[in-house]
Chain A
Amino acid sequence: MNKIWLIIKREYLTRVRNRTFILSTILLPLFFIGFIFASAYFSISSTEKQKVAVSDSNGIFKNSFQSSDLISYQYPSDVTADNFKEKGYSAFLKIPENYNLAGDSISLISTKQLGMEAEDKIKDQINDAIRNQAFLKNNIDKKILDSINKMNEDQSYKFRTVIKQGNKTEQSNSGLSYGIGYGSGILIYMTLFIYGAAVMRGVMEEKMNRIAEVIISSVRPFQLMMGKILGIAAVGITQLLIWIVLIVLLSSVATSFFSADALQHAQAINTGIGAAGNSTAAMNFLNAKSTFLSANWALIIPCFLFYFLAGYLFYASLFAAVGSVVNEDPQEAQSLMLPITMPILLSFIIMTTAVGKPDAPISVWGSVIPFSSPIVMMARIPSGNVPVWQLLVSMLSLIAGFILTTMLAAKIYRTGILLYGKKVTFKEMGKWLFRR
């Protein structure tokens, strides 16, 4: 036990002291947070006002377009598709003469893209205008139409989904659970490969340096294998925890900056002054933040750590076994890894279904069977409707699974690590499994 501890310590320290580890651990969250906030920031602040010249010779759309902080509509008579740029407009909206509502097309001409938001807004306003025109044409009273439109604006309808379990109800957000499920599924998928490959490379290094034989004359092969696996597991957990802490810290710093900004806008709305566009973006951001916090993190984070660790243990020993039979040729590693990478890839595919349909049979089975459960179960948990018994069965069978894979892999490892220069077939490895 003392010796395995020495091995774990060495594996851990040599990796944690490594410059690449330090850089990737610190830079990744910075990059991640930076990316999110940069895109949020630009969506709020980069609102360049677009001046659109409308050519509406028949006056059908007169007064239908409302200028906002994003777009201002003007109806100059001397502007054409050829000279709108020189006159200082960023786009020219051409409504054909004798526009008959059904067949003709309206075209928006600009020298460069206006941006999705601006284009959408213009399209919406045209649609609204056309619909209003159609109602009026069919003899609907203008007063009634106005009152309907007004109702629509005042009480922009509210929709919410609620989960009811027994007498406990909570608000749910399927978009959010989709996102969290997908995110944690991908994260486990990636870490399985990253840390699994690290185990494999470590074993290959020891075999090729021939240090394995020196060490195996001091400790049991199983101790060497487990020491490496557990040492790298500790590295993985360290890295994940640093990422979680850094992301929480950085995002709280950044949100406090954004919240102040958003509050100003909220006050601006209350006092009735301008800037409606800005404040909706900021409000959206605040809403997103509060929904994000509404997820069941107390369940998700411990489950994530469990499935990360147990899933890693399930596959790491298999990666170690592959590393032990590989000789100098990296190509060999590729083909030997196939039986390990296939189930991981398959789990990923099941996971993409499971985030959308957490209760489909394939999702349930995938989240219980050990080889895919680490990835698939994490996709289901955020949805909040995984029965406790399924979670327990999944966890217990994963634990049993990794004990089994470790035992089998140890048998291959024990023989493979001392076998030089010989290409090993799967058939031979099968024989090793049943040897004393």
Chain B
Amino acid sequence: MAILELQNLKKYYATHKAVDDISFSIPEGSIFGLLGPNGAGKTTLLRMITGIFYPDSGEILFEGKKFNPVDDIPKIGYMPEERGLYKKMKIGEQALYLAMLKGMNRSDAMKKIKEWFVKFEMESWWNKKVNDLSKGMGQKLQFVTTVLHDPKLLILDEPFSGLDPVNSNLIKDEIFKLAQKGTTIIFSTHRMEQVEEICDKIVLVNNGKKILDGSVKQVKDDFKEHIFKVGFDELPASFSSAAFDIVDSHEKSFNVKIKDGNRPADVLQEFLNYNAAIVSFNEVLPSLNEIFIKVAGRKES
């Protein structure tokens, strides 16, 4: 079942169309990537999903029903791209305040905060102020305040920006754990390479329009160009074949593009006939970044 379904969503500003007729649905329990360059309309889209903005037209369905901010907001956790905390407020109080604003009662909130503070080794921070924290510590706190109320839908806008690799992994692990427990996660970013390892499904937006969606694997399959990388102990001398073209040659490998009507096995066969010392053979799938550049370029021209 889709936890969230967007139907023909539009939001126009005076000067540009921030979100222009976007529809997609997000299956429950998936990790969903919302991709696009800066200014593509991701933040506006997320603000409509979190009830901050009203769409000009179109429909948002949450758990199959029309999205109603008052009832549905407590089920959503949103970490905006621009992180924000009260600088002079104590950390414990701040977490409690934000949790209670999400509708938790005091004792539940306290229990949850303690759990997460222990998990992230933040117990000793309780009486510190945000001003006294490093940027990475602030990010951790921000993440904790976003997930305290056990949201069904967790929306993370650029969650790893400014985090060191250790904390980055810590948060990534927690995201996976939450997903395993059934939380649906929307992960918005312009850094496509982060998405490949995390997301099940993606949507690519540019200039307010959706350019493609699907599972990461499927998208890559759709855009693959039948390029294989063949690794050698020693690079064979000049080589030409009816079955493939060499598109790129490296120190100890070729990238070859298979011609129509041939199979990967034909490539291997040719090299074996030639007695080349093959050590590896694998398909080169396009990165999401390459796909994006290709698709965005095509749309524009």
Shortest C-beta distance, B207 to chain A (Å), equals 19
**A6: CB under 8 A from chain B?**
yes
- Whole-angstrom CA separation of A436 from B12 in the bound complex: 13
Q: Please give me the residue from chain B that is nearest to A207 by CB atom.
A: B84
Known contacts: A418-B47, A436-B54. The answer to whether A209 contacts B87 by CB under 8 A is: yes
- Whole-angstrom CA separation of A10 from B95 in the bound complex: 13
In the complex, the answer to whether B52 meets A217 with C-beta atoms within 8 Å is: yes
Contact digits for A107-121, partner B, Cβ 8 Å, 1 yes 0 no: 000000000000000
Known contacts: A217-B52, A217-B73, A418-B47. The answer to whether A6 contacts B84 by CB under 8 A is: no
Count A-B pairs with CB separation below 8 Å: 57
If A214-B78, A218-B98, A418-B52 are given as contacts, then 16 extra A-B residue pairs at C-beta distance below 8 Å, sorted by A number, are: A6-B97, A10-B97, A209-B84, A211-B85, A212-B84, A213-B52, A213-B82, A214-B79, A214-B142, A214-B145, A215-B101, A217-B80, A218-B73, A218-B74, A218-B102, A420-B82
Known contacts: A3-B101, A6-B97, A418-B52. The answer to whether A217 contacts B76 by CB under 8 A is: yes
Residues of A close to B83: CB separation below 8 A:
210
Residues of B close to A214: CB separation below 8 A:
78-80, 84-85, 98, 142, 145
In the complex, the answer to whether A6 meets B100 with C-beta atoms within 8 Å is: yes
Shortest C-beta distance, B102 to chain A (Å), equals 5
Interface residues of B in 95-109 (CB under 8 A from A): 97-98, 100-103
Residues of A close to B103: CB separation below 8 A:
3
- Whole-angstrom CA separation of A108 from B102 in the bound complex: 80
**A392: CB under 8 A from chain B?**
no
Residues of B close to A211: CB separation below 8 A:
84-86
Shortest C-beta distance, A360 to chain B (Å), equals 47
**B50: CB under 8 A from chain A?**
yes
In the complex, the answer to whether B82 meets A210 with C-beta atoms within 8 Å is: yes
Residues of A close to B73: CB separation below 8 A:
217-218
**B279: CB under 8 A from chain A?**
no
**B89: CB under 8 A from chain A?**
yes
- Whole-angstrom CA separation of A125 from B103 in the bound complex: 80
In the complex, the answer to whether B54 meets A210 with C-beta atoms within 8 Å is: no
**B236: CB under 8 A from chain A?**
no
**B214: CB under 8 A from chain A?**
no
**A20: CB under 8 A from chain B?**
no
**A216: CB under 8 A from chain B?**
yes
Shortest C-beta distance, B128 to chain A (Å), equals 16
Sample (16) of A-B pairs whose CB atoms are under 8 Å apart: A3-B101, A7-B101, A209-B84, A210-B84, A211-B86, A213-B52, A214-B78, A214-B79, A214-B84, A214-B98, A214-B142, A215-B101, A217-B50, A418-B52, A420-B82, A436-B54
Residues of A close to B102: CB separation below 8 A:
218
**B136: CB under 8 A from chain A?**
no
- Whole-angstrom CA separation of A257 from B58 in the bound complex: 76
Residues of A close to B89: CB separation below 8 A:
14
Q: Please give me the residue from chain B that is nearest to A436 by CB atom.
A: B54
Q: Please give me the residue from chain B that is nearest to A218 by CB atom.
A: B101
**B27: CB under 8 A from chain A?**
no
In the complex, the answer to whether B85 meets A209 with C-beta atoms within 8 Å is: yes
- Whole-angstrom CA separation of A220 from B82 in the bound complex: 19
Residues of B close to A305: CB separation below 8 A:
none
- Whole-angstrom CA separation of A206 from B82 in the bound complex: 12
Q: Please give me the residue from chain B that is nearest to A417 by CB atom.
A: B52
**B286: CB under 8 A from chain A?**
no
Shortest C-beta distance, A328 to chain B (Å), equals 13
- Whole-angstrom CA separation of A213 from B102 in the bound complex: 14
In the complex, the answer to whether A6 meets B52 with C-beta atoms within 8 Å is: no
Q: Pick the 3 closest A-B CB pairs, nearest first.
A: A210-B84, A211-B84, A210-B82
Which secondary structure characterizes the binding site on chain B? Answer: loop
Contact digits for B31-71, partner A, Cβ 8 Å, 1 yes 0 no: 00000000000000001001110100000000000000100
In the complex, the answer to whether A217 meets B78 with C-beta atoms within 8 Å is: yes
**A249: CB under 8 A from chain B?**
no
Residues of A close to B86: CB separation below 8 A:
206, 209, 211
- Whole-angstrom CA separation of A181 from B100 in the bound complex: 45
Residues of A close to B85: CB separation below 8 A:
209, 211, 214
- Whole-angstrom CA separation of A6 from B97 in the bound complex: 8
Total contacting residues, chain A, CB less than 8 A: 22
- Please pick, from B78, B88, B101, B145, the residue contacting A219 in the complex, using a CB distance under 8 A: B101
Q: Please give me the residue from chain A that is nearest to B52 by CB atom.
A: A216
- Whole-angstrom CA separation of A418 from B18 in the bound complex: 15
Residues of B close to A212: CB separation below 8 A:
84
Shortest C-beta distance, A203 to chain B (Å), equals 13
Q: Please give me the residue from chain A that is nearest to B102 by CB atom.
A: A218
Shortest C-beta distance, B47 to chain A (Å), equals 7
Contact digits for B175-207, partner A, Cβ 8 Å, 1 yes 0 no: 000000000000000000000000000000000
Q: Please give me the residue from chain B that is nearest to A10 by CB atom.
A: B97
Known contacts: A14-B89, A216-B52, A217-B51. The answer to whether A210 contacts B80 by CB under 8 A is: yes
Residues of B close to A213: CB separation below 8 A:
52, 80, 82, 84
Interface residues of A in 384-436 (CB under 8 A from B): 418, 420, 431, 436
Shortest C-beta distance, B251 to chain A (Å), equals 47
Interface residues of A in 1-16 (CB under 8 A from B): 3, 6-7, 10, 14
Most buried by A among B69, B80, B87: B80
Known contacts: A211-B84, A214-B78, A214-B80. The answer to whether A6 contacts B101 by CB under 8 A is: yes
Most buried by B among A3, A14, A418: A418
Shortest C-beta distance, A164 to chain B (Å), equals 58
- Whole-angstrom CA separation of A140 from B145 in the bound complex: 97
Interface residues of A in 210-263 (CB under 8 A from B): 210-220
- Whole-angstrom CA separation of A132 from B52 in the bound complex: 87
Most buried by B among A10, A214, A216, A220: A214
Contact digits for A1-45, partner B, Cβ 8 Å, 1 yes 0 no: 001001100100010000000000000000000000000000000
Residues of A close to B87: CB separation below 8 A:
209
Residues of A close to B54: CB separation below 8 A:
436
Contact digits for A291-308, partner B, Cβ 8 Å, 1 yes 0 no: 000000000000000000
Shortest C-beta distance, B149 to chain A (Å), equals 9
Q: Please give me the residue from chain A that is nearest to B69 by CB atom.
A: A220
- Whole-angstrom CA separation of A215 from B84 in the bound complex: 9
- Whole-angstrom CA separation of A218 from B103 in the bound complex: 9
Contact digits for A333-365, partner B, Cβ 8 Å, 1 yes 0 no: 000000000000000000000000000000000
Shortest C-beta distance, A14 to chain B (Å), equals 7
- Whole-angstrom CA separation of A220 from B70 in the bound complex: 9
Shortest C-beta distance, B277 to chain A (Å), equals 57
